[in-house]
Amino acid sequence: MDQLIPFDIGSSTEDVLEVVRRYWGFDELRPLQHDAIRAGMDQRDSLVVLPTGGGKSLCYQVPPLLTGRTDIVVSPLISLMKDQVDGLRTNGYPAAALHSGLDPQNRSEAEDFIASGDCRLVFVSPERLVTPWFLNTVEKLGVSTFAVDEAHCISHWGHDFRPEYRQLAVLKERVPGASIHAYTATATERVRDDICAQLALVDPTVLVGNFDRPNLLYRLVPRLDLRGQVREVLHRHENEAVIIYCISRKETERLAGHLQDEGHQAAYYHAGMDAAPRRQTQERFANEELDVIVATVAFGMGIDRSNVRCVVHIATPKSIEHYQQETGRAGRDGLEAECVLLHSPADTMRWQTLMERSAAEGDGGGLAGSLALLDEIRRYCAPGKCRHQALVEHFGQAYDAPGDAGCGACDVCLGETEGLVEATKDAQMILSCVARLQQSYGMGHVADVLRGAKTERIRSLAHDELSTYGLMEGKAQKQIMNLIFQLLDQELLTRSPGEYPVLLLNDASLEVMRGERTVHLVPAKAQRVRKSSRDSASWEGVDMELFERLRGLRTELARERDVPPYLIFGDASLRDMAASKPSNETEFLAVHGVGEKKLKDLGEVFLAAIASHGD
Ligand code: ADP
Ligand code: ZN
């Protein structure tokens, strides 16, 4: 294959940076990448915990380049391996993968390449790793460094246990003296300990990264009008990649159908689909032929589209771990992205029922544990603390706010939840008024009493003597009615059937009145959030028209070469080009994500497009 000309390199920090610049076009390493790469070079066992998008792969990709070794990466999914190998090759990095998806011709090519010793990184599934051919090759080449990607798959306590991973327990025995480097995004202590024990790591260097994802904007919004709210979010992310997570398969199909009816190009995805359409949908999303995907959590590992600009949950997930994992798929390119969670108290009740049912059927048995996790996310949904802070603290880390105004990237710090504290008070006033009126009156009258109206009816009933009379003085009747409707929607209040319905209290009303429950109400005129992600700072100086043009060029080239567009260039690179407008090779090389191979391959055509722009 077409490789970069080898060059003399040592192993100093400068040498590491040189390689990273040459092959990846990055100017610096992220904090833990240094230490993780060092452990790989020195062959010290290690466990590296970094959130999704944190840059784990670079940590095992760099050492074999510098040392001239052949290293092995164990990976759980064919699609993950394929994407990584394709990406590495477009950077001129000699890599190969061995998996069951190869035809005989490709397999024998890959095997020859590996046996030649020129291949720096071999991706392999755990089953294949322990085959005689492979272990034999490992011995012949003197391979002694193994990276285990998605290492939590080895643990029962992880959210994604894979029995095949258990076979890795024999690695230390089979390859004496080998070093093992485990990588995961799962942060719980139990999983961490389990990984070290299962892989028999010896005195491992444990590196745990910062779990905050500062480029993600978290917005937790009470679900009042699902379709309208989803529409509004999609409006903010026109022509951008959005994943919408639903709990059930049926919901994905229904919502995707509605969105299509409204003219959106959207598709659904869940585990109940046949393999072919399922793969096709995933590929169309990866190839940027499809932007909106409505999915269950089955749409997860293996999505390598790094420019997902928004992840929407239309209901509360069952734990903060799930939430973090799923929102982690947004903004992997480090650029701003939004995470919207539309929640309702009904969601946690629904999960509880599901959990109780599956416990009764003898599945798992960890009911108390699941319910505790559910309770955590329920509390997370209430407005209070900064979302970034709460998430990071959940994973046992301290949060350092970047400024006085908090994180600057969540609904709480942006002041979007202001008024919700009043909302609970408003709800309490309305509900106590319903109670004072003996649950015998309709909405209009309740609203009149609350605003202190001086009507004949109120006087004749002596309702102006009630303690709740005039409690919401200053508000219009319509405004109060709007709040009452919202309480009805959220089932915090009910109505009798019939022609003249009266307002009735239920158990939830009592919880609110006792202060055991926070209420979310939106002002009659919902405040608009930032119109589009394109208003954000990372777009500063970017020539939008040029960006779109380069994006078109990227799609064209991707199609010609039959690779996903992000393998040509990520959005960060395109934005950088559209801002700095390089006019020669040296300037092009300075663009984020441009290494020597990409300069050679793509420099000319992109430079030409930039030069002709604005002519
Ligand atoms: P993970 O495997 O931890 O989810 P990846 O290895 O896929 O994360 O990296 C996420 C993104 O960050 C990729 O687009 C990658 O190219 C980019 N990246 C990694 N390291 C750096 C770096 N030092 N500088 C700039 N971008 C980086
Ligand atoms: Zn915040």
- pLDDT, position 589: 93
- pLDDT, position 305: 86
- pLDDT, position 424: 86
- How crowded is residue 286: how many other Cβ atoms within 10 Å of its Cβ? 22
For the domain that residue 499 is a member of, what is the CATH number? 1.10.10.10
Over the chain (615 residues), the average pLDDT of each successive run of 10 is 50 87 92 93 95 89 95 91 91 94 92 94 93 90 94 78 87 93 85 92 94 92 86 92 96 96 94 92 91 92 83 95 90 92 87 88 72 88 87 88 86 79 87 95 95 93 94 87 84 88 94 83 55 64 92 93 89 94 94 93 95 82
Please give the Cα distance from 53 to 375 (Å, whole number).
Answer: 27
- pLDDT, position 552: 93
- Using CA atoms, how far residue 514 sits from 424, 425, 509, in Å, is 11, 11, 9
Specify the number of domains making up the chain: 4
- Using CA atoms, how far residue 31 sits from 12, 23, 50, 150, 261, in Å, is 16, 19, 11, 20, 47
Nearest bound ligand to the CA of residue 217: 2
Q: What is the pLDDT of residues 177-213, one digit of tens each?
A: 999 999 998 767 888 899 999 999 999 999 998 889 9
Share of the chain above pLDDT 90, in %: 59
Do 383 and 255 reside in the same domain of the chain? yes
Q: Tell me which of 208, 234, 253 is where a domain ends.
A: 208
- pLDDT, position 577: 95
Do 516 and 594 reside in the same domain of the chain? no
**Residue 332 near ligand 1, beta carbon < 6 Å:** yes
Q: Are strands 337-343 and 308-313 parallel, antiparallel or unpaired?
A: parallel
Please give the Cα distance from 327 to 330 (Å, whole number).
Answer: 6
Please give the Cα distance from 388 to 386 (Å, whole number).
Answer: 6
Q: Are strands 46-49 and 205-208 parallel, antiparallel or unpaired?
A: parallel
Q: Which residues fall within 8 angstroms of residue 468, CB to CB, at 6 or more apart?
A: 429, 432, 433, 436, 449, 450
**Residue 141 near ligand 1, beta carbon < 6 Å:** no
Do 514 and 553 reside in the same domain of the chain? no
Please give the Cα distance from 391 to 320 (Å, whole number).
Answer: 8
Q: Tell me which of 463, 487, 521 is where a domain ends.
A: 521
- pLDDT, position 52: 78
Q: 56 is written with which tokens? A: 């784990």
Please give the Cα distance from 341 to 352 (Å, whole number).
Answer: 19
Do 110 and 220 reside in the same domain of the chain? no
Do 282 and 377 reside in the same domain of the chain? yes
3-state secondary structure of 28: coil
Question: Is residue 582 a contact partner of residue 568, using CB atoms and an 8 Å limit?
Answer: no
Do 220 and 199 reside in the same domain of the chain? no
Do 193 and 303 reside in the same domain of the chain? no
- pLDDT, position 526: 44
Q: Which of 518, 337, 519 is nearest to 410 (CA)?
A: 337
Q: Which residues fall within 8 angstroms of residue 332, CB to CB, at 6 or more apart?
A: 52, 53, 306, 307, 308
**Residue 570 near ligand 1, beta carbon < 6 Å:** yes
- pLDDT, position 187: 67
- Where in 255-349 does DSSP place strands (E)? 266-269, 292-295, 308-313, 337-343
Q: What is the pLDDT of residues 331-381, one digit of tens each?
A: 988 899 999 999 887 888 899 998 888 888 876 557 887 888 888 898 898
Q: Tell me which of 191, 208, 225 is where a domain ends.
A: 208
Residue 403 is assigned to a structural domain of this protein: no
Range of the domain at 448: 421-521
Q: 448 is written with which tokens? A: 């009149």
Do 165 and 240 reside in the same domain of the chain? no
Question: Is residue 413 a contact partner of residue 407, using CB atoms and an 8 Å limit?
Answer: yes
3-state secondary structure of 68: coil
Please give the Cα distance from 599 to 588 (Å, whole number).
Answer: 7
Residue 452 is assigned to a structural domain of this protein: yes
Q: 287 is written with which tokens? A: 């190839």
Residue 6 is assigned to a structural domain of this protein: no
* Mutation test residue for ligand 1: of 332, 573, 598, the one with most atoms within 8 Å of CB: 332
Do 168 and 232 reside in the same domain of the chain? no
Strand partners, 97: 123
**Residue 59 near ligand 1, beta carbon < 6 Å:** no
Please give the Cα distance from 225 to 230 (Å, whole number).
Answer: 8
Residue 531 is assigned to a structural domain of this protein: no
For the domain that residue 173 is a member of, what is the CATH number? 3.40.50.300
Do 508 and 605 reside in the same domain of the chain? no
Residue 264 is assigned to a structural domain of this protein: yes
Do 429 and 379 reside in the same domain of the chain? no
Residue 300 is assigned to a structural domain of this protein: yes
Do 360 and 425 reside in the same domain of the chain? no
Residue 495 is assigned to a structural domain of this protein: yes
- pLDDT, position 578: 95
- pLDDT, position 88: 95
- pLDDT, position 13: 82
Strand partners, 108: none
Please give the Cα distance from 405 to 415 (Å, whole number).
Answer: 10
**Residue 57 near ligand 1, beta carbon < 6 Å:** yes
Question: Is residue 146 a contact partner of residue 167, using CB atoms and an 8 Å limit?
Answer: no
For the chain, how far is it from start to end, CA to CA, in angstroms? 38
- Report the separation in Å between the CA atom of 278 and the middle of ligand 2, taken as the mean of its atom positions: 36
- Report the separation in Å between the CA atom of 59 and the middle of ligand 1, taken as the mean of its atom positions: 10
**Residue 58 near ligand 1, beta carbon < 6 Å:** yes
Please give the Cα distance from 344 to 342 (Å, whole number).
Answer: 7
For the domain that residue 570 is a member of, what is the CATH number? 1.10.150.80
Q: Which residues fall within 8 angstroms of residue 537, CB to CB, at 6 or more apart?
A: 336
**Residue 157 near ligand 1, beta carbon < 6 Å:** no
- pLDDT, position 468: 93
Question: Is residue 117 a contact partner of residue 43, using CB atoms and an 8 Å limit?
Answer: no
Q: Which of 201, 208, 218, 424 is nearest to 311 (CA)?
A: 218
Question: Is residue 141 a contact partner of residue 102, using CB atoms and an 8 Å limit?
Answer: no
Q: Are strands 121-124 and 95-98 parallel, antiparallel or unpaired?
A: parallel
Residue 155 is assigned to a structural domain of this protein: yes
Nearest bound ligand to the CA of residue 91: 1
